Amino acid sequence: MPRIDIIVPVFNEQEVLVLFYQRLKQVMEDSEVDWSLLFVNDGSTDQTQESIENLHTADGRVGYISLSRNFGKEYALTAGIDHAKGDALVVIDVDLQDPPELIPDMIAHWQSGYDVVYATRKERHGESFAKKATASLFYRLINMMSRIEIPKDTGDYRLLSKKAYTAVRELRESNRFMKGLFAWVGYSQKQILFDREPRAAGNSKWNFSTLWRFALDGITSFSYLPLRFATWIGSIVAVFAFIYGLVIIAKTLIFGSDVPGYPSLMVVVLFIGGVQLTALGIIGEYLGRMFQENKRRPLYLVDEYQPPE
């Protein structure tokens, strides 16, 4: 029987952890595979670790990796993928927004030859209009800007064959946008559709500022377009500024100098200043990330590892 590793990053999820385990167990016991569950505790400060340890004691198929602090979901996922041993792995959120019932479908597609099976949301229930709108804008934007096709409205929920997850392991960049990395490796990919349910319990760990950072990480690690954009805008403005300068010189030569030039001067100075700061900001976003990459720090640190049996 093939073995499937189920990788679940968790951060302060005591309300939903056991619920998730029960529903997953139900689904997996009906399917004809060997399976194991690997929780990655991403520095939780509530009772999450205790719950995981209880599950581990009660059911040998449950293992865990406990990270030394909260590194963020992308790093927790990386830790899980690094420790996988199965013929395929499934990445899933613990909050039951990704229904475990899709896993048998994913496995069936994998057995028919696909290396990556990803689940795309048809509907997202229980999320605010603002979150849905910004998410949809983000996916459209990043696909316009990047040469890698990143599936729209698709989270991390997916199955990766051993071939695919071994390839993902090779990507050690420290600015990690996992959805992009999953797409980057290529191989034969299959999409399946589902309706996303609201969270079963607990709260979303994201807020506007973490999502903004996440979006910038995604865009900067998959596209140079913003840098080129800065160049284009800079050159266009420079051309206009040059023409305007010529006009002013000509006017002064023909009509003499008229003192009241303050408004136009202010407009030009402020406009060019704004453009320069924007361009610098864009360069800064990339430079900061290069700085971080250069340090080559480990992506995460493991405090404790208990493999599933």
Contact residues toward ligand UDP (CB under 6 A) are 9-11, 13, 42, 70, 72-73, 76, 93-95, 97, 204-206
**Count of positions (residues) in the chain:** 309
CB-nearer residue toward Mg ion: 97 or 146: 97
From CA 98, how far away is CA 76, in angstroms rounded?
17
- Phi and psi, residue 24, nearest 5°: -65, -45
Please tell me what DSSP assigns to residue 146: -
Smallest separation, CB 198 to Mg ion (Å): 9
With a CB cutoff of 8 Å and minimum separation 6, the contacts of 132 are: 124
115 binds, among Mg ion, ligand UDP, none (CB under 5 to 8 A by kind): none
CB-nearer residue toward ligand UDP: 2 or 99: 99
178 binds, among Mg ion, ligand UDP, none (CB under 5 to 8 A by kind): none
CB-nearer residue toward ligand UDP: 114 or 118: 118
Q: Which of residues 90-149 bind Mg ion (CB under 5 A)?
A: 95, 97
Smallest separation, CB 102 to ligand UDP (Å): 16
Q: Which of residues 82-101 bind Mg ion (CB under 5 A)?
A: 95, 97
Smallest separation, CB 192 to Mg ion (Å): 19
CB-nearer residue toward Mg ion: 102 or 185: 102
CB-nearer residue toward ligand UDP: 216 or 241: 216
Smallest separation, CB 57 to ligand UDP (Å): 21
With a CB cutoff of 8 Å and minimum separation 6, the contacts of 216 are: 285
- Contacts made by residues 122-128, CB under 8 angstroms, sequence distance 24+: 122/193, 122/194, 122/195, 123/195, 123/196, 124/153, 124/196, 125/195, 125/196, 125/197, 125/198, 126/197, 126/198, 126/199, 127/196, 127/198
Please tell me what DSSP assigns to residue 70: -
Smallest separation, CB 1 to ligand UDP (Å): 27
From CA 180, how far away is CA 146, in angstroms rounded?
10
Contacting positions for Mg ion (CB under 5 A): 95, 97
